[in-house]
Amino acid sequence: MKFDTPAGQNPIDQLKVVGKPHDRIDGKYKTTGTALYAYERNDAVANHAYGYMVGSAIAKGRINAIDLAEAKGAPGVIAIVTAANAGKLTKGDFNTANLLGGPEIQHYHQAVALVIAETFEQARAAAQLVRVDYARGKGRFDLATELKGAPLKPAEDKGPPVDRVGDFEGAFGKAAVKLDARYTTPDHSHAMMEPHASIATWEGDKLTLWTSNQMIAWGKGDVAKTLGLPKENVRLISPYIGGGFGGKLFVRTDAIMAALGAKAAGRSVKVTLQRPLMINNTTHRPATMQRIRIGATKAGKITAIAHESGSGDLPGGQPETAVNQTKLMYAGANRLTSMRLAVLDLPEGNAMRAPGEAPGLMALEIAMDEMAEKLGMDPVAFRIANDTQVDPEKPERRFSQRQLIKCLQTGADSFGWNRRNAKPAQVRDGKWLVGLGMAAGFRNNMLMKSAARVGIDRKGIVTVTTDMTDIGTGSYTIIAQTAAEMMGVDLDKVVVKLGDSDSPASAGSGGQWGANNSTSGVYAACVKLREAVAQKLGFNSTDAEFADGKVRSGNRSVSLAEAAGDAGLVAEDAIEYGDLDKKYQQSTFAGHFVEVGVNAYTGETRIRRMLAVCAAGRILNPKSARSQVIGGMTMGAGAALMEELAVDKRFGFFVNHDLASYEVPVHADIPHQDVIFLDEVDPISSPMKAKGVGELGLCGVGAAIANAIYNATGVRVRDYPITLDKHLDKLPEIA
């Protein structure tokens, strides 16, 4: 199905099933332990062996020699895989570093060996006996140092090195009110609950991988390329994923090493990355150093805005696109954005939930707060005054929907923003300094081709099959809702099968694109199936009504079961997009509001309440969408207050590479959270008239917390995370 004109009235608009707060279909399986994750697929693979990864002990250099003799002689050892015996490997399209190191080492904890044994304990014990002689090389590990000579780098090598509109320097020089400030965000880890894990088995030259991967079609292609196999000889299966946040968008070393291990052992092998290895071996969100300049009239109209960001990655990597939202967020005739990319020998930087906008808004929305204060304006009013309904760089291109003002006004009214004391450090609650902060949220809506197969059997059961994944986001449920709405059946009459590369290729889970695109693919297949049903029954497909498990046309009514017959009916199709996303700017918006308390004695920050107001197209399932948003808000709290990968700049690794020392929020850190969804449909986006919301819940939260801390204390911290040591000595004196 080609989607190249705005959606009109269609069966989804009935909203009998779609748009309702249904419980997650997969919930009962996950809460009872019957949802089997990749490492648990003992039902599918018998007599498997265990692989244990050995990671490089240096960040840069070479392996002189590996002594495997003692490890090979350890109890239960079946085989050991290294670069010396793995055969020719090619780097996948989505990997920056090789997934198996040797003799060259590109980063700390790069895989250098896999020990395969009869039991996990035997493999782990033998892995300690692998002796590696390294020649340590000189590495580049300090972002601030390396950025000094780093080149300008457009995203994915597209566009000019410096993106200009108008005359920024001239307008900024003449501006009545100016801000020029610098902000930093640290490296972040995905820290998902389920580690990277795979089970591999070979049947001749055909490989099957049960793996934890968000993007099945991408993964299949990269496994095939890395191992030198035809794509048709690779099958990936990933029906349940215990969190990914972008860290499982791409094939990682667990999958490739499991495949190599199974080949070497002559039997199935399961591999999971041990938690201390994950943080340096896999990808992370890169640190940024950002400079923001804003010039405005005394009345508060922005006349000049510039956002420059620097980040680092391994050779061949890409920048963290922290300037993305600044291109589109606020009006202003004179604009400048640019990015620098330093070459670092740290582990690979890549996508993490809301790449670009998440760290970019952590800076931009503090800058907007600082500018509002300079102008003597309320922060909400300042943002509203600089709203735009068109792309500021291409004014002929309107937003398909843009309800940022309503998000901010609704949030301010609901949160009690009018009770905020604009003068910092004035409100106390016992030993706590209390402050309110807010920020705008923004995330682009991305469109991707997505396919599905939908069938009806002789019992009237509708089955949807697609390689779409569910990473805890509720894909099973919204896909079932879509099919139920389109085919006129109850939700319990729909079966959804996900996460198998033998199924039609979907958009996959990532970038906030999964829900809208995957359900649109199901919609397309259902349209085709409805036509097949109508044709078989001799009905006019344009006036056939599907409801209550039946199809009606005129005075005739036939059950879907009867229409399907013993052979059943099946249809397959994909949603493919035209150029509407080029004619219209498609984005999602939010208003984030936070109240914090800062201990006047210790500097400890406690979040007291949070609110997100979101405008993100049609909300397909308010219950699961709310879960996505509060999850994003929680991640934003972590980024604001505690999350930071500490870099050892001597030896080039993240020191706190476990969940004991890489702090993430726990229940005690998170207070009551409210979420409000604005009533919005976007017919420009898709036939579902939806967009995405999972990453929008994160975008802007960090800055809202930072602004609340400033309002509470009068101390402005521009370097995340905002730990107590950064403002303790500047807190107001205690009377």
Please give the positions annotated as active site. 695
How many Cβ atoms are within 10 Å of 211's Cβ, its own excluded? 29
Q: Are 412 and 420 in contact (CB under 8 A)?
A: no
Q: Are 514 and 462 in contact (CB under 8 A)?
A: no
Q: Residue 504, preceding bond cis, omega within 30 degrees?
A: no
Strand 605-615 relative to strand 672-677, pairing:
parallel
**Terminal C-alpha separation, the chain:** 69
Q: Are 605 and 722 in contact (CB under 8 A)?
A: yes
Distance (Å, rounded) from C-alpha 213 to C-alpha 215?
6
- Angle at CA of residue 294, ends 426 and 148, nearest 5°: 105
Distance (Å, rounded) from C-alpha 688 to C-alpha 619?
10
Q: Taking the CA of residue 32 as centre, how many other CA atoms within 13 Å lie in the half-sphere pointing to its CB?
A: 6
Please name the residue that has the structure tokens 């620098």: 340
- Among the listed residues 16, 10, 7, 3, the one whose alpha carbon sits nearest the alpha carbon of residue 481: 16
For residue 468, report the phi and psi dihedrals to the nearest 5 degrees.
Answer: -55, 150
The token pair at 228 is 């030198």
Helix (H, G, I), strand (E, B) or coil at 533: helix
The token pair at 188 is 């972040």
Residue 451 CA to its chain's centroid (Å) = 21
Q: Are 231 and 219 in contact (CB under 8 A)?
A: no
Paired strand residues for 192: none
How far, CA to CA in Å, does 198 sit from each of 189, 202, 268, 279?
A: 20, 13, 10, 17
The token pair at 545 is 């009504």
Distance (Å, rounded) from C-alpha 46 to C-alpha 49?
9
Distance (Å, rounded) from C-alpha 266 to C-alpha 672?
53
Distance (Å, rounded) from C-alpha 10 to C-alpha 526?
12
Distance (Å, rounded) from C-alpha 566 to C-alpha 558?
15
Q: Taking the CA of residue 255 as centre, how many other CA atoms within 13 Å lie in the half-sphere pointing to its CB?
A: 33
For residue 193, report the phi and psi dihedrals to the nearest 5 degrees.
Answer: -65, -50
Q: Are 231 and 217 in contact (CB under 8 A)?
A: no
Give the DSSP letter of residue 151: P
**H-run or E-run covering 497:** strand 494-497
- Angle at CA of residue 608, ends 604 and 611, nearest 5°: 130
**H-run or E-run covering 437:** strand 432-444
The token pair at 389 is 């309904």
Distance (Å, rounded) from C-alpha 724 to C-alpha 726?
5
Distance (Å, rounded) from C-alpha 337 to C-alpha 315?
23
DSSP per position, 401-416 = ---HHHHHHHHHHHHT
How many Cβ atoms are within 10 Å of 220's Cβ, its own excluded? 25
The token pair at 578 is 């035209």
Strand 61-67 relative to strand 131-136, pairing:
antiparallel
